[in-house]
Amino acid sequence: MWRYVVRRVLYAIPILVGVNLLTFFLFFVVNTPDDMARMQLGVKRVTPEAIEHWKAERGYDRPLMFNEGATGAGKFTDTIFFDHSVRLFAFDFGAAESDGRDIGHEIRSRMGPSLAIALPVFLVGLAAYVSFALLLVFFRATVLDTVGVVACVFAMSISGMFYIIGGQYLVGKLWNLVPISGFGEGLSAWRFLVLPVLVGLVAGFGESARWYRTIFLEEINRDYVRTARAKGLTESRVLFRHVLRNGMIPILTGVVVVIPSLFLGSLVTESFFGIPGLGSYTIDAIGAQDFAVVRSMVFLGSLLYIVGLILTDISYTLVDPRIRFE
C-alpha cells in the first residue's frame, strides 16, 4: 500500500505544478501587476511612482514567466511565476497583498470556523441522508416512497441562497430562536452554528438523499439480496447488513474525496452567516485581486483534493476486499 501511496504522492507534484501554472495564467490574463497595485493602493491620487514602488517591493516588476534579461536558469527563476510559486511547495504562503498579513496564520486561524460548520453538516448530513434513502428504499413502491422522492425533487429544485435567506428570516428573525448571523469565541460559537448547519443540512437533503436512494435501489435487485431474503433474513437486516455495505463504494467515491476539503469551507454560507472561515477568505481575496491569497487557496484546494482522492482509493480496499493496490 505504501508504494502505491508514494507513487500517488509523486504523481501529485506535476498536477500541483499544472494547477499553479493554470491559476497563474488565468489570474494574469485578467489582471496585470499594475491592476493589482492600483487595487491595493486605492483609486484616488495614485501616482505612477507609487505603482512602480508597490510592484518592486513585491517582485511584480519582473517578467511573468520568462526573463530575457537574465542569464542561464535565471531566465526562468527570476520571474514572477517562479518566485511566487516555488515556495508554496514548502507551505510558505507569504503575506497577503491587500493587508500584508501572514497567509499561513490566516489559514490556521480560519480553518476552525470553516470546520465548525462543514464537519457537522458532513457527518450529520451523511447519516441523515443515508438513513432517509434507506427508509425510502425500505418503503419502495409505496406512497411513502413517492412522497419522499417528490419531497427530494422539490428540495433540490430550490436555490441554496433561498434556504439561507429563508432560514435567516424564519428561524432568526421571525421566531427569534438563534442569531441571524455572526460568530463567537470558543464554545459560545455554538449558537451561531445552529442555523448555518441546519440550512446546510436542509439544502443538501434533496440531492443527496435521492442520489443514495438510487445507489441502494441498484443494489436491492442484485442476486445476493435475493439470496439473503431466501435465507429468511428480515428486510432491515438485508438493508443494513448487505445493501448498505455493498452500496458503500459509490458513496465513498463522493464522500471521502470531500473530507480534506471540509477545511476550505463554503464561499456563500460563510459570507451570509458572517463566519470567519476560509470560504469567505477566498471570496474576499478574489474580490480584492489578492493573488497571493488566491494562489495559496487554490494550491491548498488542489492539494486537499488530491489527498481526498488518495484516501478514497485507500478506503475502497477497506470496504471491498476484492480491490487491491496494483
Partner 1 sequence: MRRPLTRFIVLIWIACLAAACSEPWNDPHAPASTGGQTLYSGFAERPKHLDPVQSYSSNEITFTAQVYTPPLQYHYLDRPFRLIPFAATKVPEPVLLDARGVALPADADAGKVAFSVYEVRIRPGMRYQPHPAFANDERGAPRYVELDDRALAEIHELRDFSHTGTREVLAADFVYQIKRLAHPRLHSPILGLMKDYIVGLDDYTKRLKQADDALANSGRKGAWLDLRQHPLEGVEIVDDHTFRVRLKGKYPQFVYWLAMPFFAPIPHEADRFYTQPGLIARNITLDWYPVGAGPYMLTINDPNRQMVLERNPNFFGETYPRTGEAGDAAEGLLRDAGLPLPFIDRAVFALEKEGIPYWNKFLQGYYDMSGIAADAFDQAVQIGGSGQVMLTDEMREKGIQLKTAVAPSTMYMGFNMLDAVVGGESERARKLRLAIAIAIDYEEFVAIFANGRGVPAHGPIPPGIYGYRNGEAGVNRYVYDWVDGAPRRKSIETARKLLAEAGYPGGVDSATGAPLVLYLDGTARGPDDKNRLDWLRKQFARLDVSLVVRATDYNRFQEKIRKGNAQIFYWGWNADYPDPENFLFLLHGAQGKVKTQGENASNYTNAEYDALFERMKNMDNGPERQAIIDRMQEILRRDVPWIWGMHPKEYGLAHAWVHNRKPNQIANNLLKYQRIDSASRTTLRARWNRPVLWPLGLVVVFAAALSFVAWSAWLRRERRTAGLALAQER
Site for partner 1 in 109-138 (CB under 8 A): 109-110, 113, 135, 138
Q: Is 239 in the site for partner 1 (CB under 8 A)?
A: no
Q: Is 29 in the site for partner 1 (CB under 8 A)?
A: no
Q: Is 178 in the site for partner 1 (CB under 8 A)?
A: yes
- Other Cβ atoms less than 10 A from the Cβ of 257: the count is 20
Q: Is 26 in the site for partner 1 (CB under 8 A)?
A: no
H helix runs in 31-102, sequence order: 33-41, 48-58, 74-77, 80-85
Q: Is 8 in the site for partner 1 (CB under 8 A)?
A: no
Q: Is 214 in the site for partner 1 (CB under 8 A)?
A: no
Q: Is 100 in the site for partner 1 (CB under 8 A)?
A: yes
Interacting residues of 315 by C-beta distance below 8 A, sequence separation 6+:
252, 256
Q: Is 139 in the site for partner 1 (CB under 8 A)?
A: yes
- Other Cβ atoms less than 10 A from the Cβ of 285: the count is 22
Binding-site member from 6, 9, 26, 177 for partner 1 (CB under 8 A): 177
Residue with cell 442484485: 222
Q: Is 144 in the site for partner 1 (CB under 8 A)?
A: yes
CA distance 284 to 315: 35
For residue 97, give the nearest of 126, 70, 59, 130 by alpha carbon: 59
Residue with cell 470531500: 258
Q: Is 45 in the site for partner 1 (CB under 8 A)?
A: yes
Interacting residues of 118 by C-beta distance below 8 A, sequence separation 6+:
262, 263, 265, 266
Binding-site member from 79, 269, 280, 302 for partner 1 (CB under 8 A): 280
Q: Name the grid cell of 187.
A: 464554545
Please, what is the minimum distance in Å from the beta carbon of residue 75 to partner 1? 26
Residue number, 172 or 250, with CB nearest to partner 1: 172
Q: Is 146 in the site for partner 1 (CB under 8 A)?
A: no
Q: Is 235 in the site for partner 1 (CB under 8 A)?
A: yes
- Mark the segment that binds partner 1 (CB under 8 A) among 67-75, 167-175, 205-213, 301-309: 167-175
Q: Is 169 in the site for partner 1 (CB under 8 A)?
A: yes
Please, what is the minimum distance in Å from the beta carbon of residue 289 to partner 1? 8
Please list every residue from 180 through 209 that binds partner 1, using CB under 8 A.
Answer: 180-185, 188, 191-192
CA distance 167 to 188: 21
Size of site (CB under 8 A) for partner 1: 72
Residue number, 163 or 273, with CB nearest to partner 1: 273
Residue number, 263 or 305, with CB nearest to partner 1: 263
Q: Is 198 exposed, middle or buried (0-12, 13-18, 19+ CB in 10 A)?
A: middle
Backbone angles phi, psi at 43, to 5 degrees: -100, -15
For residue 34, give the nearest of 18, 50, 14, 21 by alpha carbon: 50
Please list every residue from 48 through 87 that binds partner 1, using CB under 8 A.
Answer: 48-50, 53-54, 57
Q: Is 166 in the site for partner 1 (CB under 8 A)?
A: no
